[in-house]
Amino acid sequence: MKNKLAILLALIGLTLNAQKNIYESAKFDDLSKSHQTLAIIPFLTSLQLKGEVSDDELKQLEEKEAYEVQNALETYFSKRKKKKKFSVTFQNIKNTNAILSQQNITYENIDIYTVRELSEILGVDGIISGNLDLNVLLSNGVPTKFSIMDYINGDANYGRIGVKISDGTSGKLLWKYEKQINKKSGKNTTDLIDKMMKMASRKFPYDRERPRDRKDN
């Protein structure tokens, strides 16, 4: 009984912490009322790896991590839409990346394009993007066993991730969720995204079953 209570309290704590790291625009309803399709683009990634890694290799690894997050988010939404009803659909990332490639937009130059430009090019109503700062290769899998010494030595922290949704017409930020990445976050990219989005699910703005509590935020 005590163990069940401890688990319940831990889950409540994680949920409350997730909600503290979530921002939602007061104009979300007005700006998103006509939204039908969102595109997920590769995340801007910064790697700080220990050991000798050439600049070219570092760029390749950063690009790999960027596309891994894009893929993990699509996987999450694909699985969740079988259980939940979203008010929008999500563009297939293969189509997203193909259209970007046709316009000569690559991972290296995507950051020079505005949300409005990318939305028009992709033919969507909004963009899901974000930033990823890591000191490990999360896509390769990371250790999840931890001890107090890991936290004392700083070995439990792997970085930080920010997921944001922007309106394609105005370019304005609608929703953002930031989270620190550590040994409790997940064993790989897919696991990380699955866990963090589940914690934020009650606050995900396109969830049709979500309580209408924006005015209370």
- Mean pLDDT of all residues in 136-150: 59
What dotted CATH number matches 2-209?
A: 3.40.50.10610
Pairwise pLDDT comparison (15 vs 175), residue with the higher score: 175
Q: In this model, does residue 37 exceed pLDDT 80?
A: yes
- pTM tops 0.85: no
pLDDT at residue 156, rounded to an integer: 55
pLDDT band, very low/low/confident/very high, at 171 (cuts 50, 70, 90): very high
Task: Say how far apart CA 204 and CA 43 lie, in whole Å.
Answer: 19
DSSP for 53-87, please give it.
--HHHHHHHHHHHHHHHHHHHHHHHHHHTTTS-BS
What residue ranges do the domains of the chain occupy? 2-209
| pLDDT tens track for 42-56 | 999 998 887 767 889
Beta carbons within 8 Å of 128's beta carbon, 6+ residues apart: 38, 39, 40, 41, 73, 90, 163, 164, 165
Q: In this model, does residue 12 exceed pLDDT 70?
A: no
Q: In this model, does residue 115 exceed pLDDT 90?
A: yes
